[in-house]
Amino acid sequence: MKPTATRHNFRAASSSAIQNKRVQKAVRNTAGLLARMRATTVNTKPEFEELRNWGRNRKLLVSENLEKWVAQFKAQVEQQGGVVHRAKDAAEAGRIISEIARERGITAAVKSKSMTSEEVGLNDILQDAGITVTETDLGEFIVQLAGEHPSHILAPAIHRNQDDVRKLFTEKLGAPADLDVEGLVRFARKVLRHKFLEAGMGITGGNFAVADTGTVAIVTNEGNGRMCTTVPPVHVALVGIEKLIPSIKDLPDFLSLLTCSATGQRASSYISMTTGPRRTNETEGPEEFHVVLLDNGRSSIAASPWREMLHCLHCGSCLNHCPVYHAVGGHAYESSYPGPMGSVLSTLLWGKQSYPELANACTLCGRCVDVCAVKIPLANYHRTLRHQGGSNSQTSYLAARLASHPGAYRRGIHALRRMLRTQPLTKVLPKINKSVANWQSCRVLPVAGEEQPFRDWWHQHQPKGQAPKLKRVETKEVPSVPEDKKAGTADREELLALYRQRAGALGVEIVETSVAELSGLIGNLLKDESVSSVALPRAGWPQKLDERVAEILAGADCQTVSCEDETGWNMAALANAQLGITYSSAFLAETGSLIYPAGAGNGTLASLLPEVHLAISASSTLLSDLNAYFKNEAGPLPSRLTQIAGPSRTGDIEGTMTVGVHGPRRVIHWILSDLDTGQ
Amino acid sequence: MSLPNHVSLFLTCSAETLYPDVGRACVKVLEAAGFTVEFRQEQTCCGQKWLNTNETREAKLMARHFLQVFESAEVIVAPSSSCVDTVRNQYPDLFSDDPGLHARFVALGEKTYEFCEFLDKAGIRELPVHPNPVPTTYHSTCRTLRGIGLRGVAENYLQQLLGDRFIELPESETCCGFGGTFSVKLPEVSGQLLQDKLDNIFSTGAEVVTALDLSCMTHLSAGAKKQGRTLRFAHLAELLAEALDGAEQ
């Protein structure tokens, strides 16, 4: 959202916002929940503090020389067959993206949540160019239906409770009036499924742009990000230049910083890592991959004293912990970026002429600084954005001169004490002084007591020369015990136990079994879920295991949908499959997740579109974390690499966790102990 | 850690104007712990107000005066976390373009302590029991927690002083909404935060509210009084001085 030409009046906006107790309650509930979720995870991660320092240092390296990293990123994307566009401002970004659509005759686009696109006002620009844009993140979808703007960078519809959403769905979409939260989510799934299949363009933001590989990584929980990066023929990622990170080796730790800070998740449900468009022989993915790199004032911020503002990961943690945000909600900020990060960023991006008061929207309580993923000194930034270049007020200067002069100070304190004892004066003061009136709106003026002033007392004071009544104990510094290094040294059994615990907590149904048991297990699953159609991509399975699975399915009279050649999926048939069976080439203990690289014949969408996803792995492919995976697979990255942690989920309606938004509601993982991967 | 035995008291403008008893309590407790206390007559205020509004010309004047008064002190103790935070964490940044002066301010900050923080550093582990404990709660204050990083120390002292009459405050780590100029620039939002804090305080049934920051205490007591509540607001130093008096009798 671009700010309007009028000056933002935060006092007026916030004082009217705090009147709305319904919105205030909704915001407090969800933001409070997110803050508690963060605390729960961070409290069990002793290395998190060190990780935050590391993140800040890596980001300092980038913000020191943005152009260098941009150039490297651009070269890498181009080498992979993608196109990089540079946009100096919002209008140019809008023009570039409408042009891409217009040249290809695209009239419908789907979009996953991107605050950068809100900054640009992209929806309005595309709408004016005749392109329909559908928001696909549930929260953004709700906000778009209501004709509003997001009020939180992570949970856009945080200000709406389920009654609001129910009413909105009934009015705008003709949904039944008696749906519960799960019913509302299922309803949105149906509406949006069509939009994905019809869209000519998928638009996303980018959480990270990796300079040394040209990869754009996005995190989503619902699966809409995967849809937008895989289903439409053209994928456009709109990314601020500050989102660059030096290396793919940095990505796993940055992802962890982001998701832990945002929601306390060790990994979001889906992490989509896109490196160029679909490659020869690949059966899915966009034919074109465009990255629009947006400056829009970022270069100037990099050269300013507020440079670290560019380090922001947009995790939303500062909003979730800010007392002011909790009280007023996001809309009072009248910017796409609300809360502490928003006050600073909006002031820097659009200037004090647009946002003259946001630097004051902070009590300097410092809570945001303590929870910032990359330790941005937000409180200090609020402070230093006040009175830039000094106040030049003679009154202020005179007051400081007097306050730093001992004699004048003493006389001043005397006078002030006398004044605060004179009740009639406290009635007159608010009439002549606005600050006093504001203070008295909900407080009384303090009253100085009749007790002896300290300095008078001190002149008479004689120490008693007593024996100490409070005993002092000499304290010794306790040497800190070094933490054990964990994941790296754990043996396989420990790793597997960790995987069971982490994936299990996400709702993944884990079965450790053998090839011989497959037939019976599949039979039961087909019966339980009344499956008549199964999506079964055939590439990449070891020991012709796919043939075995296909035989079992044929025996059970099940239709199978596959994607053997470059014509790819029959999307209508894929969308109708109730079960997707995939081979996962690696799974990760730390995040309880599965890994899917794109490749010839690898139909990764089978893990996304059906209601139930069955992943099969060899137990030997268990690794500690994404770092270990990148170490193991030293070659070039696939065009799309996907990490899946549990089912598709959302908390966008009142923070109520609901599964099966765009992806599966059930994720089942069978780990085969006797499968030889030939590695 | 071994500390010098001679303490210089920095009273702060809030204490001098509104809470002279807090200053007296600090002197009493420090002397009871075997320290000699001095009070430098030239001292004024730390200038936090100008730092909060980023009026650096004014803030520098205040910082230089503070340095002039206290640089030769062995150790400086103040009954207010926000003033200590100002001296320790914000003064040096004002002079980042002057390495010599910057270093002097860093050294100054390193020997400036909040009263309760100082007692802890000095190895005061055992406190006498308060002779007449009433239900008391404690507001952590932002600058205590996040400015000077003091967690759990005051709570532990209060536990010893008051036993089960010390009641934990719900959402103790949330700001009271004062924020200096914030309270008069955005009085509606500030009032909302104040109300939330007061509601939490009222919910404990406490008769005494204690804190290590006099400005937050002033804000809270002014809000409670507006609503006709008769709560006592006391710095921890006062409760400790009362306990020492009780032990004397």
Do residues B144 and B196 both lie within one domain? Answer: yes
Task: Give domain status of residue B166, yes or no.
Answer: yes
Task: Give domain status of residue B43, yes or no.
Answer: yes
- The A residues from 327 to 356 touching B (CB cutoff 8 Å) are 327-328
Residues sharing a CB contact under 8 Å with residue B77, sequence separation 6 or more, in sequence order: B7, B8, B9, B10, B26, B30, B112, B113, B114, B115, B118
CB contact under 8 A, A404 and B62: yes
The strands making up B36-38's β-sheet, listed across from edge to edge, are B36-38, B6-9, B75-78, B112-114
Task: Give domain status of residue B23, yes or no.
Answer: yes
Task: Give domain status of residue B128, yes or no.
Answer: no
Mean pLDDT estimate for chain B = 96
Do residues B107 and B195 both lie within one domain? Answer: no
Q: Among residues A543, A597, A603, A600, which one has the least CA distance to residue A574?
A: A603
Nearest-CB residue to B189 (from A324, A367, A404): A324
Report the residue of A322, A363, A475 to disrupt the B interface, i.e. the one with the largest count of B CBs within 10 Å.
A363
| Contact in structure between A397 and B57 (CB atoms under 8 Å) | yes
Q: To the nearest 5 percent, what fractions of chain B are helix, strand and coil?
A: 55, 10, 35
- Provide the residue type at A341 as one letter: M
Measured between beta carbons, the chain A residues lying within 8 angstroms of B64 are: 404
Q: Is the pLDDT of residue B248 over 90?
A: no
Nearest-CB residue to B187 (from A385, A438, A474): A438
CB contact under 8 A, A406 and B29: no
Report the residue of A409, A470, A475, A477 to disrupt the B interface, i.e. the one with the largest count of B CBs within 10 Å.
A470
Tally of helices (H runs) and strands (E runs) in chain B: 14, 8
CB contact under 8 A, B53 and A477: no
- The A residues from 474 to 513 touching B (CB cutoff 8 Å) are 474-475, 477
Do residues B101 and B51 both lie within one domain? Answer: yes
3-class SS of residue B195: helix
CB contact under 8 A, B184 and A393: no
Task: Give domain status of residue B129, yes or no.
Answer: no
Question: Across-strand partners of A210?
Answer: A215, A245
Measured between beta carbons, the chain B residues lying within 8 angstroms of A401 are: 61
Nearest-CB residue to A400 (from B37, B58, B128): B58
Nearest-CB residue to A327 (from B15, B125, B193): B193
CB contact under 8 A, B185 and A464: no
Nearest-CB residue to B54 (from A18, A386, A453): A386
A385 and chain B: CB distance < 8 Å anywhere?
yes
Q: Domain boundary at B121, B152, B168, which?
A: B121
Specify the pLDDT at position A523. Answer: 96
Closest Cα of chain A to B138: distance in Å? 17
Q: What is the DSSP letter of A607?
A: G
Specify the pLDDT at position A486. Answer: 45
Measured between beta carbons, the chain A residues lying within 8 angstroms of B13 are: 403, 413
- The A residues from 56 to 115 touching B (CB cutoff 8 Å) are none
CB contact under 8 A, B222 and A446: yes
The Cα B112–Cα B94 span in angstroms is 17
CB contact under 8 A, A397 and B58: yes
Nearest-CB residue to B53 (from A327, A391, A473): A391
Do residues B70 and B159 both lie within one domain? Answer: no
Nearest-CB residue to B62 (from A400, A449, A463): A400
B33 and chain A: CB distance < 8 Å anywhere?
yes
B92 and chain A: CB distance < 8 Å anywhere?
no
Domains present along chain A, CATH in parentheses: 21-137+199-297 (3.40.50.10420), 394-443 (no CATH), 490-672 (3.40.50.10420)
**A20-32 residues labelled b (16+ CB within 10 A) or e (exposed):** beebbebbbebbe
Nearest-CB residue to B226 (from A14, A417, A442): A442
Nearest-CB residue to A444 (from B31, B174, B222): B222
- The B residues from 97 to 116 touching A (CB cutoff 8 Å) are none
- Provide the residue type at B222 as one letter: A
Task: Give domain status of residue B127, yes or no.
Answer: no
Do residues B141 and B232 both lie within one domain? Answer: yes
Residue B195, domain extent = 136-248
Do residues B140 and B115 both lie within one domain? Answer: no
- Provide the residue type at A48 as one letter: F
CB contact under 8 A, B62 and A406: no
Measured between beta carbons, the chain A residues lying within 8 angstroms of B186 are: 10-11, 14-15, 360-361
Closest Cα of chain A to B96: distance in Å? 13
- What are the residue ranges in chain A where pLDDT is below 50? 484-488
B177 and chain A: CB distance < 8 Å anywhere?
yes
Measured between beta carbons, the chain A residues lying within 8 angstroms of B123 are: 472-475
Assembly ipTM: 0.96
Do residues B153 and B226 both lie within one domain? Answer: yes
B36 and chain A: CB distance < 8 Å anywhere?
yes
Closest Cα of chain B to A523: distance in Å? 53
Do residues B87 and B117 both lie within one domain? Answer: yes
Task: Give domain status of residue B21, yes or no.
Answer: yes
Specify the pLDDT at position A654. Answer: 87
Q: What is the pLDDT of residues B127-144, one digit of tens each?
A: 999 999 999 999 999 999
Task: Give domain status of residue B175, yes or no.
Answer: yes
The Cα A346–Cα A331 span in angstroms is 13
End-to-end CA distance of chain B: 33
A418 and chain B: CB distance < 8 Å anywhere?
no
Q: What is the pLDDT of residues A131-163, one digit of tens each?
A: 999 999 999 999 999 999 999 998 899 999 999
The Cα A615–Cα A517 span in angstroms is 15
Do residues B145 and B113 both lie within one domain? Answer: no
CB contact under 8 A, A328 and B221: no
Specify the pLDDT at position A488. Answer: 47
The strands making up A83-87's β-sheet, listed across from edge to edge, are A83-87, A288-294, A234-240, A201-204, A108-111, A132-135
Measured between beta carbons, the chain A residues lying within 8 angstroms of B5 are: none
Domain count, chain B: 2
The Cα A253–Cα A249 span in angstroms is 8
Specify the pLDDT at position B249. Answer: 63
Measured between beta carbons, the chain B residues lying within 8 angstroms of A21 are: none
Do residues B94 and B185 both lie within one domain? Answer: no
Report the residue of B29, B37, B42, B55 to disrupt the A interface, i.e. the one with the largest count of A CBs within 10 Å.
B55
B96 and chain A: CB distance < 8 Å anywhere?
no
Measured between beta carbons, the chain A residues lying within 8 angstroms of B192 are: 18, 327
Do residues B85 and B140 both lie within one domain? Answer: no
Do residues B153 and B180 both lie within one domain? Answer: yes
CB contact under 8 A, A464 and B31: yes
| Contact in structure between A202 and A288 (CB atoms under 8 Å) | no
CB contact under 8 A, A366 and B191: no
Q: Show the beta-strand stretches assigned E in A198-252.
A: 201-204, 208-210, 215-220, 234-240, 244-245
B180 and chain A: CB distance < 8 Å anywhere?
yes
- Model-wide pTM > 0.90: yes
